């Protein structure tokens, strides 16, 4: 009768022990994918109707994403045995003949010399003297002095099996601590229509205090149509807020509360952001997890979103987690400076969110603090940003700039009675720079103009008939119905 071979402990195909064969494995149900590509996040229940998802959220509406059970399942890694022995416990040494016994010979008698005690004492004394000399040498060379090197000159310490602290973690911690006190939670009550008639709906969004006297920047869609706004600070204080004004160019709004001495966030320069740079999003995702911090990188710049006739350009794309309720909250760089305002997410993707650059928001922020009406600059031209394809197709003499014209040859590129017409601009002119700053694909005309205020005089470098000329232009006020 043959015996069954012993199972190989390294063979993963052997049968599972019946004692643990019925242990279940974690297998969550697949989540349904949304049908739309984009959706504003002002209301999860309204998300399918629009192509954007902003990060505002409406309480009382169905959640935008499935909510996990409050009782987390017990996870067990696949392929891990329930036994506590290692894979090598069952490995036996190959059999070998036993060694032959050795008969010790007679111990010779010592005829003289030092005894064993003397030898041991001498050895110990030598070891002590040698180690003492080594310590003195190391001490003189500074080996026992704590190092104080910093920055690029400090060499990394070798770490075996222990977590390594990196500067990125410290940057996130410091930036979050710096900006979080200036982040607010906005609870907005607005008129809403339900199947039973017109009633009140409540939504939650975020905002950031940019001036200590109660000036808050947020998204227009967060407060649009609001009948009541409650502003909650991180320290627990609440204030009634009112809409000071909304922007005609982007999805931005200014909210004012009656308070002074508030923590205000420092503003950065979004134009200086680099793709791959660390950024941090702060807000109230899902309207529940207030003042949450997520981190990621700048994935791209100059993105564009459209909904019907509405269009937002020059957006920052980031993979920092942005969810309904984050709308209006700040996007922060590693130095703790606000570089954008979170506004939308791609609902059919993972890790694609968008923020409005702070350079676009800065002019209206300053107007509000001065008590002025929010307004955007206007020159009155239609144009195309010059790309390699456009240069090749039209045989243009330059690689970058803004070509005035409709593109299809129909209509005029310069609007009648506009500041551009008054300044003498013509179809076919190529705008090369504004106040000495070159125009290119990363610095398009609209993004550069919006950083100026109405009635401001700017200098344009214009290429016309092969010659570059300078044109002085006084900016007008952007019409409110202009998309």
Predicted confidence (pLDDT) per residue in 264-308, tens digit: 999 999 989 999 999 999 999 887 888 999 999 999 998 988 766
123 given a catalytic annotation: no
- Greater model confidence, 14 or 413: 413
Say how many C-beta atoms besides its own lie within 10 A of residue 373's C-beta.
11
In contact, 53 and 34? CB cutoff 8 Å:
no
135 three-class SS:
helix
> What are the residues whose beta carbons fall under 8 Å from the beta carbon of 198, sequence distance 6 or more?
191, 192
Q: Kindly list the distances between the CA atom of residue 191 and the CA atoms of 46, 224, 327, in Å, as whole numbers in the listed order.
A: 14, 10, 20
Beta bridge partners of 230: 187, 240
pLDDT for 133 equals 53
Q: Which of 474, 306, 465 is nearest to 378 (CA)?
A: 474
Residue 324's pLDDT is 85
At 91-150, the pLDDT tens digits run: 333 444 444 454 444 444 444 445 555 554 555 555 555 555 554 444 454 444 443 333
Gap between the Cα atoms of 257 and 242, Å rounded: 7
Separation CA 173–CA 150 (nearest Å): 19
Domains in the chain (CATH in brackets) are 35-59+168-372 (2.40.10.120), 377-477 (2.30.42.10)
pLDDT in tens, 139-190: 454 444 443 333 333 333 444 445 544 477 888 999 999 999 999 999 999 8
Catalytic residue among 221, 250, 299, 337: 221
Distance, in Å, from the CA atom of 358 to the CA atom of 371, rounded to the nearest integer, reads 20
For the chain, the maximum distance between any two Cα atoms, rounded to a whole number of angstroms, is: 124
Task: Output the CA torsion 129→133→135→138 (10° steps).
Answer: -160
Residue 60: half-sphere exposure toward Cβ, Cα within 13 Å: 11
**Per mean pLDDT, which of 23-27, 60-64, 83-87, 476-480 is the most reliable?**
476-480
DSSP 234-267: TTS-EEEEEEEEE-SSSS-EEEEES--S---PEE
| Residue of 211, 247, 251, 319 marked catalytic | 251
Q: What is the pLDDT of residues 330-353, one digit of tens each?
A: 999 999 999 999 998 877 777 899
H-type helices in 199-326, by residue range?
220-223
Q: Which of 42, 43, 327, 359 is catalytic?
A: 327
Q: Is 327 a catalytic residue?
A: yes
pTM of the model: 0.64
Residue with tokens 């309207």: 287
The residue behind tokens 């402990």 is: 9
Quick one: average pLDDT of 235-260?
A: 94
Of 341, 347, 70, which Cα lies nearest the Cα of 222? 341
User: Alpha-carbon distance 481 to 454, whole Å?
Assistant: 16
- Identify the three-state secondary structure at position 57: strand
Answer yes or no: 221 catalytic. Answer: yes
List beta partners, residue 419.
none
What value, to the nearest 5°, has the Cα angle with vertex 312 and ends 311 and 314?
A: 135
State both tokens at 432.
């090369």
């Amino acid at each position: 009768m043959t015996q069954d071979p012993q199972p190989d402990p390294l063979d993963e195909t052997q049968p599972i022990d019946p004692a643990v064969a019925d242990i279940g494995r974690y297998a969550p149900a697949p989540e349904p994918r949304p049908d739309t590509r984009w959706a504003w996040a002002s209301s999860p229940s309204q998300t399918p109707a629009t192509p954007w998802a902003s990060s505002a959220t409406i309480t009382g509406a169905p959640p935008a994403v499935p909510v996990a059970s409050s009782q987390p399942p017990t996870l067990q890694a696949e392929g891990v045995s329930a036994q506590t022995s290692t894979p090598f416990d069952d490995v036996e040494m190959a059999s070998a003949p036993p060694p032959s016994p050795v008969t010790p010979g007679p111990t010779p008698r010592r005829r003289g010399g030092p005894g064993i005690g003397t030898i041991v004492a001498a050895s110990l004394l030598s070891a002590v003297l040698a180690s003492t000399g080594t310590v003195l040498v190391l001490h003189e060379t500074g080996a026992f002095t704590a190092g104080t090197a910093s920055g690029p000159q400090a060499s990394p310490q070798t770490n075996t099996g222990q977590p390594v602290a990196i500067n990125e973690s410290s940057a996130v911690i410091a930036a979050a601590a710096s900006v979080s006190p200036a982040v607010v939670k906005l609870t907005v009550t607005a008129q809403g229509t339900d199947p039973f008639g017109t009633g009140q709906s409540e939504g939650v969004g975020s905002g950031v205090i940019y001036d200590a006297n109660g000036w808050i920047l947020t998204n227009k869609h967060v407060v649009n149509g609001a009948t009541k706004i409650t502003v909650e600070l991180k320290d627990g204080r609440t204030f009634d807020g009112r809409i000071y004004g909304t922007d005609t160019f982007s999805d931005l709004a200014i909210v004012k509360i009656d308070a002074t001495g508030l923590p205000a966030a420092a503003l950065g320069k979004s134009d200086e952001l680099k793709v791959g740079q660390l950024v941090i999003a702060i807000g109230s995702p899902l309207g529940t997890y207030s003042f949450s911090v997520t981190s990621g990188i700048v994935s791209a710049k100059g993105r564009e979103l459209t909904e019907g006739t509405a269009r937002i350009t020059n957006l920052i794309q980031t993979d920092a987690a942005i969810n309904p309720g984050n709308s209006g909250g700040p996007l922060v760089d590693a130095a703790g400076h606000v570089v954008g305002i979170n506004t939308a997410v791609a609902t059919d993707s993972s890790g694609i969110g968008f923020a409005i650059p702070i350079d676009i928001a800065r002019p209206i922020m300053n107007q509000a603090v001065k008590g002025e009406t929010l307004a955007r600059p206007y020159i009155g031209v239609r144009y195309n940003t010059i790309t390699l394809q456009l240069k090749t197709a039209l045989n243009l003499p330059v690689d970058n700039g803004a070509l005035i014209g409709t593109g299809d040859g129909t209509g005029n590129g310069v609007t009648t009675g506009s500041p551009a017409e008054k300044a003498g601009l013509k179809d076919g002119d190529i705008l090369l720079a504004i106040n000495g700053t070159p125009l290119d694909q990363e610095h398009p005309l609209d993004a550069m103009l919006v950083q100026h205020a109405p009635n401001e005089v700017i200098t344009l470098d214009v290429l016309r008939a092969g010659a570059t000329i300078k044109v002085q232009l006084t900016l007008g006020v952007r019409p409110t119905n202009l998309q």
